[in-house]
A and B are shown apart, each in its own frame.
Chain A
């Protein structure tokens, strides 16, 4: 689980929030409402996670609840493993 969390945090900080203080990004930070994850960045993140964990997402997986925070994304990836 921690591995998924670290991968997610690292990806978001490196690709979506470069230069941001890592302490500002918590497991419960609102990713959609804060605008960090929009449609394009969601697709990029999903593609990355598919490659990283050898999993495959479906359209139904990308419900707002599953994308709301790192914790929610972590649960989603875990359910695919």
Chain B
């Protein structure tokens, strides 16, 4: 337990709230071990109730417990069953209305996922179990069952059966139960760290898939992200074992299933059992007069239809939305079909053995690898943003490359080897070794001097185990304002489901403040003039010209050196107050410290706008900046520009906005996306669309294909923006300068983006990439979920930008 605690601390597993809870579990475990048997269940219930206040504020904690007590109490009212069910439904309806925002709740939004998670399924299981439940210890059992403390940091929680929860409590030797619990805690930690490795270093973006290798990486990566769920569930059930609940395993070698029916039984076993009890058996017994195959087919189909519906129901309580997408229907439909086929095949007589075959079997191995690869294929459908995106992404398979052949070949060989072995052989090592060895190894890898001895690629992978933030892809998505889509992308493996104490749910985006204006032209967005709001706790004001800046006259005063600064959100100053932006700090310092003959005053005008890519910066320059007669104009280049450009081009093309930049228009034409159509059925691939039109169907290019085609030209569009920036600035007699500056992202590369274009345009660059020291990044960010620099971050940028800018001014203007 101590070893596990050290690893949790060293790697920051599941955040600070989990560490607090883990320490509470360790202390509770130590006390529980020495308690009399009769006191252990009440102790667990009281510990769980106390833990509520460790995670929530006193008011929120009290509301959570009060709500729970009302719901549990309703189950015990001395009324007929139908009346109690009606009452529960009425209370559930009220809560659902409040969750949907129709009725104001007296508690903060962070309570909802936990309240929903505790009661959305368990209440039905509990109500069903009441008839057969022993009365002794009922109150403590109920409180412990609903408020079990791991649920406070894991909203995504296994559906634990109430009878099993009660029946299994210290039903075997306590030492055996504790040992099993520690083994699963260790396994859970390993799964969660492997998940980090996959999330940070393996999984790629569907939009970046160009060949078979990328496609294989995307499919493998998205399925491997499921490690997060199995890791959390192992950790949860492991911790419950420490308090004597000998619950069954939640996941069992699911990546090594030999068919889909076996996979369904091995992956999220608790859900399968819940569905068996509530859907499969009741439906089967209703239709069992039919032929067995027919009855099983109907019952299994009912299970998958219910699973599909309940996933959306679960999402509603955890997230507040109710997603129903075509890929959901297709995924559950196809998986259900495959499981039905497997179940009907199993009706044939067939042996089972307590101990698996000792000899390696090629057939079993091939069945395992085939099931894995086919499930990867299906899982990628579920993970895709749309069916259109999925089909378009699959199209990359025709570009066979060495990486693809190697990845698929390696997966087949590894899975065939592992899958052909006996399942017992795979877990034959002693439990103590399986618990201690991985934890000890992880602890050693947490020592910086040890990591320093490793080769760079291995050290990079070890660094990924420590990385808790968003990966590069999702960080870019956050920048381009698509953060909310993480719900769709990461599904149940999402990164931030586990932060009930965080304020991310209440985090405002800029459009919701009324300061940002979305436009129907090539600029796409700008800031409204003369606005003053409070945005995420900071004063945010625009001047009469729509700059996030102090006021300036349009006419430049004599003796003034005017610098126009273009850029995206971190230039505009997301997350800092008025006057705290690096632009304001540099302006003040220039005026204070950089006196030059003939220059009486410096003015730095902030034209930064949230979400701007390079093309929009150039457009802003042409539309507005030259009116202010600047002497210097600065473009901000950064690594997320590529993602921003993709979104900008997508919006421009989808809306049919006129493209005034001839060079961009040529590129769009060359990609075949000048006119993509906005009506009609989305059909991927031009030959398919031609065929559809030939038979009279109105079709259009699907969004995923537009994105894929944009992917092919996006770098050239950025290069074109750089060339245009240099040209138009010089034509107007303005000195162009480029600043390379990222937000406070992890894994920032120091390599300058679009280097060739910058060199070709002869643009001077002040390179500020890599200025955030790794150990200070957390302190320089606005929040853990928002990697814009905070006020301290802006001061650091200003300190580093000033010398470069001053040198540029000296070079360009001192002689004049």
Residues of A within 8 A of B (CB): 15-20, 24-25, 29, 32-36, 38-41, 43-44, 47, 57-59, 62-65
Contacts and interface: CB of A to CB of B under 8 A. Distances in A.
Contact of B343 (A39, A59, A62): A39
A11 to B, nearest CB: 12
A20 B261 CA distance: 24
Contact of B352 (A16, A29, A39, A64): A16
Given A43-B296, A62-B281, A20 B163 contact: no
Contact of A63 (B277, B282, B349, B355): B277
B349 A59 contact: no
Nearest to A57: B285
B199 to A, nearest CB: 31
B122 to A, nearest CB: 15
Contacts of B277: 62-64
B284 A40 contact: no
8 contacts: A16-B352, A32-B248, A39-B280, A40-B261, A43-B292, A44-B347, A63-B163, A64-B161
A40 B296 contact: yes
B411 interface: no
B161 A19 contact: no
A38 B353 CA distance: 13
A32 B167 CA distance: 15
A20 B351 CA distance: 10
Contacts of B265: 38-39
B111 interface: no
A19 B354 contact: no
A71 to B, nearest CB: 13
B346 interface: yes
The 5 A-B residue pairs with the shortest CB-CB distance, nearest first, are A59-B281, A59-B282, A40-B346, A59-B285, A18-B351
- Chain B interface extent, by class: 20 to 34
B164 A59 contact: no
Given A18-B351, A40-B343, A62-B281, 5 more contacts: A17-B354, A40-B296, A43-B296, A59-B281, A64-B273
Given A43-B284, A58-B285, A65-B163, A20 B353 contact: yes
Nearest to B166: A65
A23 to B, nearest CB: 11
A35 B281 contact: no
Interface string B239-277: 000000000110000000000010001000000010011
A43 B294 CA distance: 13
Contacts of B355: 20, 24
A46 B355 CA distance: 24
A32 to B, nearest CB: 8
Contacts of B280: 39
B353 A19 contact: yes
Nearest to B164: A64
B716 to A, nearest CB: 56
Contacts of B284: 43, 59
Interface in B335-375: 343, 346-347, 349, 351-355
Contact of A65 (B167, B276, B292, B351): B167
A39 B261 CA distance: 10
A33 B248 contact: yes
B430 to A, nearest CB: 19
Interface of B: 161, 163-164, 167, 248-249, 261, 265, 273, 276-277, 280-282, 284-285, 292, 296, 343, 346-347, 349, 351-355
Interface centre among B285, B346, B349 (most CB of A within 10 A): B285
A17 B353 contact: yes
A78 B354 CA distance: 26
A44 B161 CA distance: 24
Given A38-B265, A40-B346, A65 B354 contact: no
A64 B280 CA distance: 14
B281 A17 contact: no
A20 B343 contact: no
Nearest to B252: A35
A34 B167 contact: no
Nearest to B286: A59
Contacts of A64: 161, 163-164, 273, 277
A34 B354 contact: yes
Contact of B164 (A19, A29, A39, A65): A65
Given A62-B277, A64-B164, A64-B273, A41 B354 contact: no
Contacts of B292: 43, 47
A63 B165 CA distance: 13
B352 A41 contact: yes
A13 to B, nearest CB: 10
Contacts of B353: 17, 19-20
A40 B352 contact: no
Interface centre among A19, A40, A41, A47 (most CB of B within 10 A): A40
A15 to B, nearest CB: 7
Nearest to B276: A39
A26 B492 CA distance: 40
Nearest to B344: A40
B282 A36 contact: no
Contacts of B296: 40, 43
Contacts of B346: 40-41
A30 to B, nearest CB: 9
B352 A35 contact: yes
Contacts of A41: 346, 352
Contacts of B273: 64
A58 B281 CA distance: 8
B354 A20 contact: yes
Nearest to B129: A63
B282 A40 contact: no
A62 B276 CA distance: 9
Interface centre among B284, B351, B352 (most CB of A within 10 A): B352
Contacts of B352: 16-17, 35-36, 41
A36 B349 CA distance: 13
B347 A40 contact: yes
Nearest to B279: A59
Contact of A24 (B276, B347, B351, B354): B354
A20 B284 CA distance: 30
Nearest to B303: A39
Contacts of A43: 284, 292, 296
B133 to A, nearest CB: 11
A39 B296 CA distance: 10
Contacts of A65: 163-164, 167
A65 B165 CA distance: 11
Contacts of A34: 354
Contacts of A47: 292
Contacts of A16: 351-352
Nearest to B264: A39
Nearest to A39: B276
Contact of A19 (B167, B349, B351): B351
A25 to B, nearest CB: 7
Contacts of B276: 39, 62
B346 to A, nearest CB: 4
A40 B281 CA distance: 11
A20 B352 CA distance: 9
A19 B351 CA distance: 9
Contacts of A33: 248-249
Contacts of B285: 57-59
Contacts of A17: 351-354
Nearest to B249: A33
A35 B423 CA distance: 12
